[in-house]
Structure 1
Amino acid sequence: MPALTRIKGWRSAAPERMYSTWFRSIFGHMTAGSDRSVLLIGGSGVFGSRLAEALIRDDVATVTIAGRSRAALDRVAGRLGCDAVVLDVTGDDLSGRLRELSPWLVIDAAGPFQAYSGDEPYRLARAALSVGAHYFDLSDDAAFTAGIGVLDDAAKEAGLAVISGVSSVPALSSAAVRAMSDDIERIDLIESMILPGNRAPRGRSVMAAILSQAGQPLPGTPEHGWVGSERVRIETGDGHHLTRLASPIGAPDLVLMPERFGAREVRFRAGLELATMHRGLELVAGAVRIGLIRSALPLLRVLHPAARLLERLGTDVGAMRVTLRGVTRSGNAVERVWTLTAAAGDGPHVPAIPGRVLVNRLSQGETPPGARACLDDVSLTECERAAPERAL
């Protein structure tokens, strides 16, 4: 078995922030020298590095970031003050490699989870179970997250938690729905929407996930990814608003929320801030829809660099909105809206928030064993408190 390459980082001199104090007061404190270690796959990426940063500050376990690019790992490990390993999860003897590292928890923040297909989409989760490690992922793919229950028996037998979708969707979106539906008798509609600012960094995996859905049928709906759009207005709560284009895309919510919440209809929308980029993606999606091209994914090689060139345009302000319509137990028809806005380029921190909460919960023994989608494991209050220092 080839040896793992380790990259040693250095400790940042940045001061502790108030949110670390809050987490320690709620969840208790463990020193980084404890035997609990987190192996964070994709820890040098856009979302993984934000999650690694939060976990290191909370100091509930040692954090090792992992990935395939030595240079990227070196940069992030040096900035965060953690160890890193060069690790290809598609390589041979994955269980053996994890056994060498002996993690308490494996987190997959790499993706794109739409590409985790074939005979064994849960290869990493199974490998984690085989070495006695818990497993979380930041999947935003409906099929992958909905199917994680195939590991439920094995996870319960091992006394381990295997949780998929520990991200903006479905973890944060479902937390918002639960918070708004305590007195709801019937839910007619759940609509979630994510509208990032153009200056927010977009990694290659994020772009791949976007293109893989373009023109493809969406589960649980008659719609196709990125085909058709509407102009939406989101109030930011400070007297301002965002006006963006939004199109249907796939998300775990479409498959999981009808059963979990008894919702009659579930929609999911996303949009690109620059109208020219959004309309261009619509054209590509339309070409896939009518069969002119089989998939938009091969365009990643061209479109990812092009998107990087346009990063200076637009703003760094994004938003997430969850809307619930239904009827209360007293018979009143209601519409309730939860909105999160992210300024100063802090949008990429949002997908890391549920993971941060759940790792702290796991460290306190508050996460039951079993394999499931992250629909009920974090509360909206916890998630909102997890980022008080950010421009959220």
Structure 2
Amino acid sequence: MRVLVLGGLGNFGARICKRLALEPGMEVLAGSRSLPADTPFADSPVRLVRLDMDAADFPRQLLDLGVDLLIHCAGPFQQQGYRVAEACCAAGVHYIDIADGRDFVADFPAAMATRAETDGVCLISGASTVPALSSAVVDRLAEQFASIDGISVAIAPGQQAPRGVATMRAVLSYAGKPFPRLRNGAWRTVYGWHDLRAIRFAGLGTRWGAACDIPDLALFAQRYPTVKTIEFRAALELRVQHLVLWGLAGLRRLGVGLPLECYAPRLEVFTRRYLDRFGGDRGGMMVRVSGRRPDGSPGYVTWHLTAPDGNGPEIPCMAAVLLALRMAASGPPASGAFACIGLLELDAFEPEFRRWGITTELEEGDSR
């Protein structure tokens, strides 16, 4: 199977390339606008190719390369349209992306389904930590309940784990921006990087977590109709970063036009040079599901993940890798366009967790 990873030199794209290249029968191409002398693939069979997804002849370039599957890692996705997926339809190429932009992923099936079915290709959006892994965890935890009423997800990156400029742009894009979130059965407006809460992570301790806008907030409400509250927060390691983001978000709420995304490259350099030394390389994730057990009693189950040694950035890559391997082994699940929710079981992630020394544990308790 010939796989093209668009954004193949990026923080996540390069990891996906190197991981897929370990598999027999996988021919991996890393697509990039430039062809630098130094690449992450010195000891890997990954082949670097020049590609521009904004070029008018991009579908023709895909045909000329003869790829079977394109994995889109050239984010951020919050401001993108579906040009790459449309090019894949035109070229008859299957498509996976690692998007975590709420509207991009949630609107993807309706926007692309007819075209994908007509052209006989499989298009999957959101093959990342959210919603692919988070939904796999919720599906597993929900098995312990007769009905569920609350879902809370939080991600805690290690300060020293590589981020990349695209991730920084995504982080800044919704600071201070309003978005709807389900709470106590009603949709309420919250603001990006506000609504701070203390969250405990196994292996990391307690961190502040702030509200962020992700696909799960929309998709989980559809998938789990009994749920009344859905929350997601990002928990940075250094509190000073939370305070700065909280302040910038507040200025935006007051109407100050701050083009924060434009500063992403400089902020990434500043953070790496001056702040990373004060943090560590361990990251984590927490998913909590609450509801009524089969005996009627209220309770919760919390799934904790701990990623050591700076391996946290491997987690957003896993769903795309797993889906690509399944396609290579048995073909795509179907023609059409799908959000990556319910497409992978939690057990499918376990071998990848072990590969990177990532551990998980469960915590159970009674709700008030």
Instruction: Provide TM-score, normalisation by structure 1.
Output: 0.85
Once the two structures are superposed, the pairs formed by residues 256-295 of structure 1 within 5 Å of their partners are: 256-262=219-225, 263-295=227-259
Cα distance per residue 1:116-151 (max 9 Å; x no partner): 0xxxx1100010111111000000001000111121
Tell whether the 8 Å contact from 1:148 to 1:164 is kept in structure 2 after alignment: yes
Aligned position for 2:191:
224
Give the superposition deviation at 1:305.
Answer: 1.7
Tell whether the 8 Å contact from 2:148 to 2:289 is kept in structure 1 after alignment: yes
Aligned position for 1:179:
140
Aligned amino acid, residue 300 of structure 1: A
Aligned position for 2:105:
145
Matched, 1:67 2:32: yes
Give the superposition deviation at 1:281.
Answer: 1.2
Q: Kindly indicate which of the two structures has a greater share of residues assigned to strand.
A: 2
Once the two structures are superposed, the pairs formed by residues 9-158 of structure 1 within 5 Å of their partners are: 36-71=1-36, 74-116=38-80, 121-149=81-109, 150-158=111-119
Count of residues in correspondence between the two structures: 348
Pick from 208, 215, 219: which aligns with 1:245? Answer: 208
Unaligned runs of 5+ in 1: 1-35
Pick from 145, 152, 160: which aligns with 1:199? Answer: 160
Q: Equivalent residue of 1:302, what SS?
A: helix
Matched, 1:386 2:352: yes
Give the superposition deviation at 1:330.
Answer: 3.1
Q: Equivalent residue of 2:251, what SS?
A: helix
Instruction: Provide TM-score, normalisation by structure 2.
Output: 0.91
Moved more, 355-364 or 324-333: 324-333
Give the superposition deviation at 1:312.
Answer: 2.5
Tell whether the 8 Å contact from 1:99 to 1:131 is kept in structure 2 after alignment: yes
Moved more, 307-316 or 198-207: 307-316
Tell whether the 8 Å contact from 2:202 to 2:305 is kept in structure 1 after alignment: no
Give the superposition deviation at 1:89.
Answer: 0.7
Aligned amino acid, residue 123 of structure 1: R
Pick from 159, 164, 170: which aligns with 2:120? Answer: 159
Tell whether the 8 Å contact from 2:18 to 2:41 is kept in structure 1 after alignment: no
Give the superposition deviation at 1:166.
Answer: 0.2
Moved more, 312-321 or 294-303: 294-303
Give the superposition deviation at 1:294.
Answer: 4.3
Q: Percent identity?
A: 34
Give the superposition deviation at 1:60.
Answer: 4.1
Q: Equivalent residue of 2:248, what SS?
A: helix
Distance 2:202 2:265 in 1: 36
Q: Deviation above 4 Å: which 4+ runs of structure 1? A: none
Distance 2:89 2:40 in 1: 27
Give the superposition deviation at 1:235.
Answer: 1.9
Tell whether the 8 Å contact from 2:199 to 2:207 is kept in structure 1 after alignment: yes
Matched, 1:345 2:310: yes
Q: Equivalent residue of 2:193, what SS?
A: coil
Unaligned runs of 5+ in 2: 182-187, 359-368
Distance 2:233 2:42 in 1: 37
Give the superposition deviation at 1:98.
Answer: 1.1
Aligned position for 1:254:
217
Aligned amino acid, residue 380 of structure 1: L
Tell whether the 8 Å contact from 1:228 to 1:282 is kept in structure 2 after alignment: no
Distance 1:58 1:151 in 2: 30
Aligned amino acid, residue 324 of structure 1: V
Q: Equivalent residue of 1:77, what SS?
A: coil
Q: Equivalent residue of 1:39, what SS?
A: strand
Distance 1:59 1:222 in 2: 49
Cα distance per residue 1:305-334 (max 9 Å; x no partner): 211212222100010111101113432212
Give the superposition deviation at 1:203.
Answer: 0.2
Sort the Cα spacing of 1:377 and 1:383 in 2 relative to 1 into closer, same or farther, 3 A.
Answer: same
CA RMSD of aligned residues (A): 1.5
Aligned position for 1:15:
none
Aligned amino acid, residue 225 of structure 1: G
Pick from 248, 254, 266: which aligns with 1:302? Answer: 266
Q: Equivalent residue of 2:178, what SS?
A: coil
Sort the Cα spacing of 1:341 and 1:250 in 2 relative to 1 into closer, same or farther, 3 A.
Answer: same
